[in-house]
Structure formats: C-alpha cells, structure tokens
C-alpha cells in the first residue's frame, strides 16, 4: 500500500464509509493525509463543578448521584444524570444513548468532558464523552486532538482512526522540496510535517508542521502562477476592439456619475482591451465600490465590436441577478446586445437551446456559473471572460478556454482587501487595478454590537424600517451537523420571526441545502420587495445587490471572521437610504467584544483585516483560516503573510537557477507541480 492506494484498503472502511470519505474529497491515502484538521481540542485537567463556566468545554470528575433517568421521544431519547463533587452538583444530558441508564451506576466516580450551556438559569453539560474509570482521561491530558471538518454520517473519531492507520504508509520519497530550500528556510521534512499536523505532541511541533505545509502550498501555487504568466506573456491581442459611442452615451445617461477611481480603472481596461496585448487583469475594490458596472462596460465593449463576452459568477443566485440587471439595463438604454443565462440547474433542453444561441453568435453577453466553461459550451467569438477571485481560473483552465477558440481577455474581480505587496504575489499572473473610493452618495452604515438581550428591540426596529418601505437581512451561522451547538436554525427562526413581526410583513428563509430553483425564487421575490425580511445562512454573502435593504442583523456574530462580517455588512448601504448593521453576540467574552468593536469603529475592509490579524496574533490555533481567502487548504493569506513572502522569494530563487526545473534536485518538485496543475484543472471544472 502507498499514498496512491484507495482508502478502502484501510481497515474499517467499507463501501459506505468510502463513499462518505469521497464526499469530503478523500479518495486515496495521500488525500487522507492531506485532509487537515480545522482545529485542535486541548484536553485540560478536570476542574471542580463550582469552577465551570458557560460556553466552555471542560472536564469534570464527580460521583453519579441518584437515579439516571431516560426521557423524550423514541427519536430523541435523553438520558439525564447528576454528578456531585465537593463544590456542587451538575446536570448532564446525553442524546440517543439509552443504554447509559444501565451502565452508569449511582455512586460510581466518572470523568465527563463536554460543553457547558445554560438552561433555565442552570448550568448543564451536554452530550459529553465519558471516561470510566476516570484515570483513562489522563492519557489524553494536555494533548492536542485533531478536530476535522466532517460530512453527515461520519464522526471525528472515524476520520482520526483512519488517519492514524494511513500514517503508517507515509513515504519519505514524497519529499519534493529541494534540500537547499528546505534547509535555508528551516522547514520541517515531509513525514514530520504530515504526522505533526494530525497528531502534534505539543504546540511547538504543530507550528513546525504547519509552517512547512503552508510554505509548500504557497510555493506550489506561486510556481504554477509563474508558469501561466510565462506562457501568456507572449500573447498578442488578436481581437479588433475599439471604443463605441453607445458606451459613452450610456455613461452620460446613468443616474450616477462614475467615481474618479471607477473612471481611472475603466480607462485602464478599455486601453488594454483595445491595445496590442491580451488583458489579464484584476479589479480590486471594497464591497459596494461599484465593480460590476465596470465589468458590464467591458462586456459591452466586446459585444458591440461583434464579439462575445461572458461573466462567470460563484453562485446561481448571483448569476441570475447579473443576468436580470444587465438585461434590463440594456433594454432601458436601448443597447443593441442580447443576453443569455447559462447555469448548471437548467434542464438539458434549456441548456441545449442556450448552447445553440451561444454557438451561432445570436447572443453576445453570456452570464452564468461554471457551466459557462464546460465542454459543451462552444462560443462563436469569445473575446472576454469576467470572473470572480474565488473561481479565478485554475491554472490550466485558461488553456481549456483557449481550446475553444482564441484565448480571451480576462478580468477578475475581488473585494478582498490585501496590501499591494501580497496582491502582487497572489495575483502574480494578473495586472492590478484598484477602485479605492466609494460612490459619493453613500451614507456610512451605522453599526452596533449588542448581546441577545437586545433582540426584541432589534425586531421592533426592523419592523419600523419595513413600515418605511425598506427591507432587512438576518444571518444565522451554519450549523455543522456534527456539532451540538446551540445555533438558531434558519427555518425555525423565520417562523418565529414571522409571528413576532405580524402577518403584514413577509418573512422567508434561505439556506444552502435548498434546491436551486427555490433559492432563485426567494431571491427574486426579495429583490421585488415581495419578501421584506430574509433569514439566511451565509449563502447571501457575496455580491447580492438589493439597494432597498437597509438592515443587516448577524446572529452569533462571534462565530464569523471579521472579513466575512464585513462582506455581509456590504449587503446593505448600497443605495441612498441610511443603513444599519446589528452584530448580535451570543458570547459575553471580552475578546469577542473587542473583535466585534473593530467593525463598529470602521467601514474600511482594509483596516478591518489588519486589525483582525493583530488581535488574533500569529499563534492562534483556533483562529486559523478565518479569512478563508482564496481557498488555500491550510495557508491563510493574512495570517501567514510572512510565509507567503518567503515562499515567493524561494520561488524566485528556484526559477532563477533552473527556469525549466530540469535539475536533479528539482525533479520531484516538477512532478508535484504537474500533479497540482492537473488537479486544479479537474477541481474547478467539475
Ligand atoms: N459611481 C456610482 N455612484 C453611485 N452608485 C453607484 C456607482 N457605481 C455603482 N453604483 C451602485 O452601487 C451599488 C453597488 O455596486 P456594485 O454591485 O457594482 O458593487 P461591487 O463593487 O460589485 O460590490 P460587491 O463586492 O459588494 O459585490 C449598485 O447598486 C450600483 O448600481
């Protein structure tokens, strides 16, 4: 067995479990070894009952006291016991474990470890692990236990066990970093790093393991980018594009004037699309800075010159929003261009018809999701592709696009506030234009950070806003099925809120598990103001534009990263009305308050990202990956900015010495890069 072997060769992984693992993207032993924990549980020594605090995970040793009871329905049996020590009594609940009634004997001493919550003024431990006899707990004391991201049907324990087995097949030959690079950047070797990321013996080992893995991830990414850049550098602009009067006339007629920054960026884009070289450009601009209209102008430039332009959105809801707003813009201003929508959830027949219109050139502006670049989409004359940074093309995707005809101009949009030095590394394949100014008609959003005691006041505030004709969003965090966390479920929440607000106000809910058609319907109804209050998970996060919405309330705001909260806040304050953002915190901790206060102080994404990082500090085990930027598996662009710089420097060193990676010491690296490029193509076109 080796890292390429299927995971079904491991003990205990049958067909059913294998399918679940595959759902998490794990096919081989190597995939499993690279399935990194999302956090670590630190097993601390048991505390006494009197010391327990709400919200924390703790261990307690105590005597089972009185009768163990079993209540609840057949589907949800709850076993309840009381534990006693010298400082007090603790109620403990377990779900769906009826057999405990017989195994937990009154008078026996056990250790339990779980989360403490508050119910009716009383502290309660929910569904803890049991250590009986208590000494068995000591084995875990002070260790870091991995917590994996999971899918329904699979437990953390199952993943941990599988990883433990897989670690036996770690192969030193997998070391692909050239020795001199590894030494000069003091990086741990491959085997050590993989072991250390899953089961670190201590924090020091974890840091070393992680640093190596982050470094290799960034290095591979940067090397891949350089390859694309190299290949594209020579590309000439074969499209004959020139500025069109319709574009200038549209700009004259729009209800607003472009900001100075928008004008500058539009000139850059237009100049390049009409110039001698192919464009690969990134537009960076904070939420609401007006990137979309610039993209639309670029699409028009392609379309009005007899070519096609396509815009790819990260979700169907957004693709549809773009389709509707661009179609109506063209109608309103009599722009002679036809639009088409192409998304994965269309029926086969709808798709076929759309493909036909695209292939014949009957439509010029095509909006959609990934379906846009699937094999069956043959373009008539594609001159421009606009995409967002999350779905910026996998390194080889551009070649697959080029395979459909000429290589088009590429425009990538990003709302991520990162410093220029980092942007140059991360978007090494792109030139960068920055929209560093918000439209002048905006009133700054008013923010407040409150605790749950404020909820009723918040609801009546929303009610008044709706009565004035405005709309509101409420965001609830997503609940991972495996976590017994007390998070409001959007559907129940919407039902409760609907009662609270009265029948005059339409409340609806939206979440990721809904069918696409249903999501679209709800979003369009919200856009038409047939729904006034939308309760949603973060599916709403990117790009939704309903300028009439003025209130954004985020429940359990402490569970989100600040950058994400800033994105969410960006959904309001997009029109002429005063807007409000209410961050409701379910935790009374000082740290949480301090973090959320940053949002209260500032509406500037760049500032927020910087402050967030300062607060978290580089060594925060649990804050890792909070920015979620650019979908790195382990690296975090903000947190690991220094490693990113080093990896970039190392990439430079490697390529200066050996541009084609032909030297012996770089052979393995070349193979690794090749695999990465093949994979990133596969992953992003599916
Ligand atoms: N110069 C301007 N003056 C006034 N309003 C503008 C201007 N430019 C764009 N807008 C409007 O501002 C709103 C937000 O613009 P847009 O959707 O392009 O933002 P964005 O930069 O794409 O933001 P996000 O990253 O949040 O999606 C839209 O309703 C748009 O019509």
CATH code where residue 520 lies = 3.40.50.300
Q: Are residues 423 and 467 in the same domain?
A: no
Domain identity same for 89 and 136: yes
- Give pLDDT, residue 632: 78
Give the mutation target among 258, 292, 473 for probing the ligand 1 site: most ligand atoms within 8 A of CB. Answer: 292
How many whole angstroms from 421 Cα to the centroid of ligand 1?
26
- Contact of 312 with 370, CB cutoff 8 Å: yes
Structure confidence at residue 626 (pLDDT): 45
What is the residue with the minimal CA distance to atom 24 of ligand 1? 287
At 328-337, the pLDDT tens digits run: 999 999 999 9
Which band of pLDDT confidence, cut at 50, 70 and 90, is reported for residue 294?
A: very high
Q: Do 380 and 267 fall within a single domain? A: yes
Whether 602 and 454 map to the same domain: the answer is yes
Q: What is the reported pLDDT for 515?
A: 78
DSSP state of 629: G
- Write the residue with the smallest CA distance to atom 23 of ligand 1: 288
CA of 645 to the centre of ligand 1 (A): 33
d(CA 619, CA 335): 54
Bigger pLDDT: 380 or 418?
A: 380
Pocket test of ligand 1: the residue of 260, 439, 541 to mutate, having most ligand atoms within 8 Å of its CB, is 439
The predicted structure's pLDDT at residue 316:
82
Q: Pick the residue whose CA is nearest to atom 9 on ligand 1.
A: 290
Q: Mean of the pLDDT values across residues 47-52? A: 93
- On average, the pLDDT of the chain sits at 85
Ligand 1 center from residue 289 Cα (angstroms): 5
Instruction: Output the pLDDT for position 234.
Output: 62
Render pLDDT for 32-44 as a digit per residue (tens, 0 to 9). 998 998 888 888 8
Q: What is the pLDDT of residue 390?
A: 62
* pLDDT given at position 635: 84
Q: Is residue 473's pLDDT more than 80?
A: yes
The Cα 17–Cα 273 span in angstroms is 51
Q: What is the pLDDT of residue 543?
A: 63
Give the end of a domain, one of 435, 469, 490.
435
Q: Quick one: tokens of 264?
A: 């500058």
**Whole-angstrom distance between the N-terminal and C-terminal Cα of the chain?**
29
128 in Cβ contact with 92 (< 8 Å): yes
> Ligand 1 centroid vs 575 CA: distance in angstroms?
9
Per-residue pLDDT, 202: 84
Q: How far is the CA of 433 from the centre of ligand 1 (A)?
A: 16
Q: Is the pLDDT of residue 362 over 70?
A: yes
Last residue of a domain, one of 141, 160, 185: 141
User: For the segment 526-557, what is each residue's pLDDT rounded down to a tens digit?
Assistant: 989 999 999 988 766 566 788 899 999 998 88
* Cα–Cα dist 391/373, whole Å: 12
Classify the phi-psi angles of 251: left when phi > 0, otherwise alpha if psi is within -120 to 50, otherwise beta. Answer: alpha
Distance of CA 462 from the midpoint of ligand 1 (Å): 24
Q: What is the pLDDT of residue 553?
A: 95
Is 506 inside a domain boundary? yes
Cα distance between residue 94 and residue 100, in whole Å: 9
Q: How far is the CA of 294 from the centre of ligand 1 (A)?
A: 9
CA 564 – ligand 1 centroid, Å: 19
- Using the mean position of ligand 1's atoms as its centre, give its distance from the Cα of residue 292 in Å: 6
Nearest CA to ligand 1 atom 16: 290
ipTM summary value? 0.97
Per-residue pLDDT tens over the stretch 117-170: 888 888 899 989 999 888 888 887 877 888 888 877 888 889 999 999 999 888
pLDDT computed for residue 534 by the predictor:
94
Q: Are residues 469 and 530 in the same domain?
A: yes
146, part of any domain: no
CA distance 618 to 331: 52
| Segment 447-458, tens digit of pLDDT | 888 888 898 999
Pair 193, 135 in one domain? no
**Residue 90: pLDDT band with limits 50, 70, 90:** very high
Strand 382-388 to strand 365-368: parallel, antiparallel, or no bridges (unpaired)?
A: unpaired
Q: Which of 190-199, 307-316, 472-481, 489-498 has the lowest mean pLDDT?
A: 472-481
Q: What is the pLDDT of residues 551-585, one digit of tens each?
A: 999 988 887 778 778 888 888 988 889 999 999 88
Looking at residues 608-621, what average pLDDT do you find?
A: 62
438 CA to centre of ligand 1 in angstroms: 8
From the centroid of its chain, how far is CA 93? 33
Q: Are strands 77-85 and 88-95 parallel, antiparallel or unpaired?
A: antiparallel
Ligand 1 centre to CA of 422 (Å) is 25
Q: How far apart are CA 10 and CA 607, in angstroms?
A: 48
Q: Which residue has the higher pLDDT, 513 or 454?
A: 454
Which residue, by CA, sits nearest to atom 5 of ligand 1? 439
C-beta atoms surrounding 641 within 10 Å: 18
In the chain, the percentage of residues whose pLDDT exceeds 70 is 90
Q: With H, G, I as helix, E, B as strand and everything else as coil, classify residue 60.
A: strand
- Residue 541 pLDDT: 57
Looking at residue 487, its pLDDT comes to: 39
DSSP secondary structure letter of residue 680: H
The answer as to whether 52 is a domain residue is: yes
308-320: average pLDDT: 87
Task: Let me know whether 384 and 522 are in one domain.
Answer: no
Atom of ligand 1 nearest to the CA of 567: 26
Domain that holds residue 491: 446-616
Q: Which of 258, 293, 413, 445 to mutate to test the pocket of ligand 1 (most atoms within 8 A of CB)?
A: 293
Q: Which atom of ligand 1 is nearest to the CA of 262?
A: 1
* DSSP states of 608-676: HHHHHHHHH-TT-TTTTT-S-GGG-SS--TTTTHHHHHHHHHHHHHHHHH-TT--SGGGHHHHHHHHHH
| Structural domain total, the chain | 4
395 pLDDT tier (thresholds 50, 70, 90): very low
Residues 275 and 305 in one domain: yes
pLDDT value of position 163: 94
Contacting residues for 574 by C-beta, under 8 A, at least 6 apart: 288, 545, 546, 547, 549
The answer to whether position 26 is within a domain reads no
What pLDDT does 685 receive? 32
CA 295 to chain centre: 23
**Which of 371-375, 510-514, 545-549 has the highest mean predicted lDDT (pLDDT)?**
545-549
Which residue's alpha carbon is at the smallest distance from atom 27 of ligand 1? 543
Domain's final residue, options 616, 649, 678 = 616
Q: Are residues 342 and 413 in the same domain?
A: yes
- 552 beta partners: 473, 581
Q: Which atom of ligand 1 is nearest to the CA of 259?
A: 1
**Closest-lying ligand 1 atom to the alpha carbon of residue 542:** 27
What is the model's pTM? 0.71
Mark 344-367 as b/e (b = at least 16 C-beta within 10 Å).
Answer: eebeeeebeebbeebeeeebbbbb
* 623 pLDDT more than 50: no
- Ligand 1 atom, smallest distance to 291 CA: 21
Q: Which atom of ligand 1 sits closest to the CA of residue 571?
A: 26
Tell me if 321 is assigned to some domain.
yes
Candidate ranges 133-147, 240-254, 500-514; pick with highest mean pLDDT: 240-254
**Res 397 pLDDT > 70:** no
Ligand 1 centroid–CA 547 distance in Å is 9
Q: How far is the CA of 550 from the centre of ligand 1 (A)?
A: 15
> How much distance in Å is there from the Cα of 288 to the middle of ligand 1?
5
Distance CA 57, CA 117 (A): 9
Ligand 1 binding pocket (C-beta < 6 A) is 256, 258-259, 262, 285, 287-293, 415, 439, 441, 543, 545, 547, 570, 574
Mean pLDDT (whole number) for 404-419: 80
CATH number of the domain enclosing 52: 2.40.50.140
Distance between Cα 287 and ligand 1 center (Å): 8
Closest residue (by CA) to atom 11 of ligand 1? 290
Ligand 1 mean position, distance from CA 528 (Å): 18
Asked if pLDDT for residue 260 goes beyond 90, the answer is yes
Is residue 341 in some structural domain?
yes
Position 201 in a domain? yes
Tens of pLDDT, residue by residue over 225-244, are: 887 766 666 678 889 899 99
Query: 137 and 179, same structural domain?
Result: no
User: Does the residue 663 lie in any domain?
Assistant: no
Least reliable range by pLDDT among 139-143, 217-221, 288-292? 139-143
CA dihedral over 204, 209, 214, 220, signed as positive or negative: positive
Closest atom, ligand 1, to C-alpha of 258: 1
Query: pLDDT category, 219, cuts 50, 70, 90?
Result: very high
Could you tell me what percent of the chain has a pLDDT over 90? 42
Same domain membership, residue 225 and residue 264: no
Whether residue 299 sits in one domain with residue 377:
yes
- In this structure, the residue with its CA closest to atom 15 of ligand 1 is 290
> Which of 317, 545, 548, 604 should be mutated for ligand 1, with most atoms under 8 A from CB?
545
């Amino acid at each position: 067995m080796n890292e390429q072997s299927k995971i079904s060769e491991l003990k205990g992984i049958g067909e059913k479990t294998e399918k679940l693992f595959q759902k998490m993207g794990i096919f081989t032993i190597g995939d499993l070894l690279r399935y990194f924990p999302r956090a670590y549980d630190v097993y601390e020594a048991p505390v006494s009952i009197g010391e327990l605090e709400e919200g924390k995970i703790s261990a307690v040793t105590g005597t089972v006291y009185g009768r163990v009871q079993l209540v609840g329905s057949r589907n949800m049996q709850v076993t309840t016991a009381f534990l006693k020590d010298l400082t007090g009594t603790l109620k403990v609940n377990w779900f769906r474990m009826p057999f405990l009634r017989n195994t937990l004997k009154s008078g026996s001493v056990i250790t339990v470890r779980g989360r403490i919550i508050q119910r009716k003024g009383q502290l309660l431990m929910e569904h803890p692990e049991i250590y009986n006899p208590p000494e068995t707990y000591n084995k875990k004391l002070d260790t870091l236990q991995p917590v994996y991201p999971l899918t329904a049907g699979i437990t953390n324990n199952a993943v941990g066990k599988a990883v433990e087995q897989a670690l036996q097949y770690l192969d030193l030959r997998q070391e692909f970093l050239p020795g001199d690079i590894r030494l000069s950047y003091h990086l741990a070797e491959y085997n050590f790093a993989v072991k250390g990321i899953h089961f670190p013996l201590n924090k020091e080992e974890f840091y070393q393991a992680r640093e190596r893995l982050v470094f290799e991830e960034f290095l591979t990414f940067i090397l891949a980018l350089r390859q694309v850049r190299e290949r594209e550098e020579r590309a000439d602009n074969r499209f004959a594009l020139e500025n069109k009067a319709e574009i200038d006339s549209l700009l004259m007629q729009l209800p607003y004037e472009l900001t100075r920054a928008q004008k500058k960026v539009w000139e850059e884009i237009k100049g390049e699309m009409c110039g001698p070289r192919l464009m690969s450009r990134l537009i960076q601009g904070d939420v609401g800075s007006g990137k979309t209209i610039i993209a639309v102008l670029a699409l028009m430039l392609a379309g009005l010159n007899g070519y096609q332009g396509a815009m790819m959105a990260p979700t169907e809801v957004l693709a549809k929003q773009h389709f509707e707003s661009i179609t109506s813009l063209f109608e309103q201003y009599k722009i002679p261009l036809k639009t088409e929508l192409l998304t994965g959830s269309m029926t086969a027949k709808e798709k076929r018809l759309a493909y036909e219109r695209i292939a014949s050139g009957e439509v010029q502006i095509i909006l959609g999701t990934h379906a846009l670049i699937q094999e069956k989409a043959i373009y008539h004359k594609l001159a421009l592709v606009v995409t967002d940074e999350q779905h910026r093309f996998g390194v080889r995707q551009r070649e697959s696009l080029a395979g459909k005809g000429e290589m088009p101009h590429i425009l990538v949009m990003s709302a991520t506030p990162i410093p220029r030095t980092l942007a140059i590394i991360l978007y090494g394949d792109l030139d960068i234009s920055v929209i560093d100014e918000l439209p002048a008609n905006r009133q700054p959003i008013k923010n407040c950070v409150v605790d749950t005691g404020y909820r009723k006041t918040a609801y009546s505030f929303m009610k008044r806003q709706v009565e004035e004709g405005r709309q509101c969003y409420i965001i609830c965090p997503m609940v991972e099925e495996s976590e017994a966390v007390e998070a409001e479920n959007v559907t129940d929440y919407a039902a409760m809120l609907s009662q609270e607000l009265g029948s005059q106000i339409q409340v609806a809910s939206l979440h990721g598990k809904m069918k696409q058609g249903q999501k679209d319907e709800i979003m369009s109804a919200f856009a038409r103001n047939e729904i006034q209050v939308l309760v949603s998970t973060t599916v709403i996060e990117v790009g939704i534009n309903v300028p009439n919405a003025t209130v954004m309330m985020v429940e359990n705001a402490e569970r989100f990263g600040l950058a994400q909260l800033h994105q969410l806040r960006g959904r309001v304050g997009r029109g002429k009305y005063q807007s409000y953002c209410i961050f409701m915190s379910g935790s009374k901790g000082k740290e949480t308050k301090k973090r959320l206060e940053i949002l209260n102080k500032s509406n500037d994404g760049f500032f927020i990202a910087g402050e967030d990082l300062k607060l978290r500090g580089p060594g925060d085990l649990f804050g890792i990956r909070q920015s979620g930027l650019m979908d790195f598996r382990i690296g975090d662009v903000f947190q690991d900015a220094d490693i990113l710089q080093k990896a970039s420097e190392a990439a430079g060193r490697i390529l200066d010495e050996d541009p084609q990676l032909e030297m012996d010491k770089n052979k393995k690296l070349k193979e690794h890069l090749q695999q990465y490029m093949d994979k990133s193509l596969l992953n992003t076109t599916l």
